[in-house]
């Protein structure tokens, strides 16, 4: 059997973990995948620590030499992309059947991370806007509220993206988007477009609710990853606070 | 009729979030169905426990549990991670309306109604957390009870 360089294997495993984590997978899933991948390369004593900003991997090769590598990453809030998570998962499943050169796998992972073939950015924004329109009806709005909500949401997501690009501060961007939603939702019904201020803003805010962060928080907590659970909880609370503040500021001044 | 329209909009809402989270195309429809099913359970349990002071809590918890249980099964059948199925389904249950009312009441200085809304928000958020936590446990429990023939398939 061919033996590959342990350094290359570590690099590939960590890269797989990194792109899974930054695309919205929960911690236990990342740790599992990294362990499975390292396992397929016949490494022993595999220990992995994954946290929202860091993954450390320590292994022993066949001769008993210990190798350690780590990766430190920055997480972009709106980068949730389950397509990437599923594809990386497929690769790790494939490796358990038949191992391949880690360099080739690394190239494949890189292609997966850069590939955006599933849904384009515009399709995502359009779908999110339609979903928020539906939510404005579910929480009690009238049929006339749906179209304004769709438009307000689409514009708010654009405002959010612009703020993230210019300032790179997620808290501020969410605040601005929520304030924008509040203003639009207040003035649109006044010119006869839409009916209820509150249902338009609730619907549009659904897009900025930290859904992935909340569900990952509890997945992590119940699997015993207290540290990552706490940091994810902090992040979702911060998002909720930012969105709340944005709406409250608008409510106070109009 | 009203219920059917709500379910339809719940389907659209979950569908939108599956696309927003960039779920693979062949999983989008089934994930949206999961979200709609969970919302149906939510409405059903809310109807059954109407009048109970914990109605909101129980219905959210049962619905979140359903989302997670179905997601666990789908993940095994479709060979994809659990969160790809469960996260979009949870979004329909998020207490957006209540937390909005809470913030509104706080800013208007109506502290007592605001605290009532705050209690409801915490209850629903806790219920969702509980549902997520119990989901995987319930799956493993149910898996043991399955007849042998079924086990290979799921």
Closest approach of A64 to chain B, Cα-based (Å):
33
Provide the pLDDT confidence category of residue A175 given band limits of 50, 70 and 90. Answer: very high
Average pLDDT over residues A113-131: 86
CB contact under 8 A, A240 and B99: yes
- In A, residues 120-139, which contact B (CB 8 Å cutoff)? 123-125, 127-135, 137-139
pLDDT, tens digit, 9 for 90 and up, residues A61-98? 878 888 899 998 876 655 788 888 889 988 988 888 88
For residue A145, give the DSSP letter: G
| Alpha-carbon torsion (A97, A101, A106, A112), positive or negative | negative
Q: Is the pLDDT of residue B139 over 90?
A: no
Q: Helix, strand, or coil here: A197?
A: helix
Q: Give the pLDDT confidence score for residue A158 in this predicted structure.
A: 92
pLDDT above 80: residue A198: yes
Residue B109 has phi, psi (to 5 degrees) of 80, 10
Query: How far apart are the two ends of chain B, measured CA to CA in Å?
Result: 35
pTM here is 0.86
Interface test with A, best of B43, B80, B96 (most A CBs within 10 A): B96
Residue A72: CB atoms within 10 A of its CB come to: 10
Q: Is A214 on the interface with B (CB under 8 A)?
A: yes
Residue B14 forms contact with A (CB below 8 Å): yes
The full 3-state SS of chain B, as one line of letters, equals CHHHHHHHHHHHHHHHHHHHCCCCHHHHHHHHHHHHHHHHHHHHHHHHCCCCCCHHHHHHHHHHHHHHHHHHHHHHHHCCCCHHHHHHHHHCCCCHHHHHHHHHHHHCCCHHHHHHHHHHHHHHHHHHHHHHHHHHHHHHHHHHHCCHHHHCCC
Asked if A215 has any chain B CB less than 8 Å from its own CB, the reply is yes
Q: What is the ipTM of this complex?
A: 0.85
Residue A76 has what pLDDT? 61
pLDDT digits (tens, 9 = 90+) for B80-113: 888 888 888 888 888 878 888 888 888 888 899 9
């Amino acid at each position: 059997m061919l033996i590959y360089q342990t350094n290359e294997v570590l690099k590939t495993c960590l890269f797989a973990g990194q792109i899974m984590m930054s695309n919205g997978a929960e911690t236990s899933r990342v740790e599992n995948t990294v362990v499975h991948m390292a396992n397929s390369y016949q490494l022993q004593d595999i220990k992995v620590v994954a946290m929202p900003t860091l993954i450390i991997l320590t292994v022993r090769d066949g001769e008993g030499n210990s190798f350690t590598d780590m990766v430190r990453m920055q997480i972009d809030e709106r980068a949730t992309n389950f397509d990437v998570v599923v594809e990386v998962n497929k690769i790790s499943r494939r490796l358990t059947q038949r191992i391949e050169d880690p360099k080739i796998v690394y190239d494949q992972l890189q292609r997966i991370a850069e590939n955006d073939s599933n849904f384009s950015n515009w399709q995502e924004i359009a779908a999110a806007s339609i979903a928020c329109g539906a939510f404005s009806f579910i929480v009690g709005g009238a049929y006339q509220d749906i179209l304004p909500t769709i438009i307000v949401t689409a514009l708010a997501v654009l405002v959010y993206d612009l703020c993230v690009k210019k300032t790179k501060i997620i808290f501020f961007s969410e605040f601005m988007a929520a304030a924008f939603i509040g203003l639009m939702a207040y003035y649109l019904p006044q010119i006869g477009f839409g009916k209820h201020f509150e249902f338009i803003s609730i619907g549009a805010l659904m897009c900025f609710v930290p859904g992935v962060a909340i569900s990952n928080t509890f997945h992590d907590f119940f699997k015993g990853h207290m540290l990552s659970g706490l940091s994810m909880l902090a992040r979702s609370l911060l998002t909720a606070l930012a969105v709340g503040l944005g709406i409250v500021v608008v409510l106070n001044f109009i | 009729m009203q219920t059917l329209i709500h379910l339809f909009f719940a389907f659209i809402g979950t569908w939108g979030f599956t696309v927003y989270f960039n779920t693979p195309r062949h999983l989008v429809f089934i994930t949206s169905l999961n979200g709609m099913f969970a919302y149906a359970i939510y409405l059903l349990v809310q109807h059954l426990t109407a009048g109970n002071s914990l109605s909101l809590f129980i219905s959210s918890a049962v619905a979140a549990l359903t989302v997670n249980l179905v997601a666990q099964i789908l993940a095994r059948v479709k060979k994809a991670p659990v969160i790809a199925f469960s996260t979009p389904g949870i979004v329909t249950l998020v207490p957006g309306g209540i937390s909005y009312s809470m913030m509104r009441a706080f800013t208007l200085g109506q502290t007592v109604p605001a605290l009532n809304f705050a209690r409801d928000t915490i209850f629903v958020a806790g219920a969702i957390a509980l549902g997520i936590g119990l989901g995987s446990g319930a799956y493993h429990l149910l898996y043991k009870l399955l007849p042998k023939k079924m086990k290979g398939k799921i």
